[in-house]
Amino acid sequence: MSEVTPPWAYETPEIRPHDPRLLLVAGTERARLAELLAPWLADGVEHVGSTAVPGLAAKPVIDLMASVRDLSAVVAQAGDGLAADGWCYVPPELDQRPWRRFFVKPDESGQHRVAHLHLIQAGHPRWAEQLAFRDALR
């Protein structure tokens, strides 16, 4: 991440009615991430968060979660590929969640978040907890 804080970092969340188009966008992003992260994936890429629940009002930001074998290896070895695909890395010291590595995909203007990518260490309880929560809401 550059020294200049991007506008999307200060974007005010806005809850909107459910938008079924976000499910389609999430599917496309999941497929692309599965391709980019294939060498490191353990349990795949999942659409989680409020946009993954049909009918639920949500921020129009897609949350994707990928289970990987080695967080540091993904950042070091796939970081350039993710950046080329529009993903911005948020370093752990800014994210303050040591159990994940976090990326944000802004829109073309750089003003708004389109998606979040949560890389989770394979076997970490957060993976199952997040899926269980999403599935309970569904």
- pLDDT tens, 85-120? 999 999 878 877 888 899 999 999 999 999 999 999
CB atoms within 10 A of CB 35: 11
Residue 1 has pLDDT above 50, yes or no: no
- In the predicted model, what is the mean pLDDT of residues 47-69? 96
**What's the per-residue H, E or C state across the chain?**
CCCCCCHHHHCCCCCECCCCHHHHHHHHHHHHHHHHCCCCEEEEEEEECHHHCCCCCECCCEEEEEEECCHHHHHHHHHHHHHHCCCEEECHHHHCCCCEEEEEEECCCCCCEEEEEEEEECCCHHHHHHHHHHHHHC
pLDDT in tens, 26-55: 999 999 999 999 999 999 999 999 999 999
- For residue 84, what pLDDT band results from cuts at 50, 70 and 90? very high
Per-residue confidence (pLDDT) for residue 72, from 0 to 100: 92
Task: Please give the structure tokens belonging to residue 38.
Answer: 């294939």
* Domain spans, the chain: 13-137
CATH class held by domain 13-137: alpha beta
Across the chain, mean pLDDT equals 93
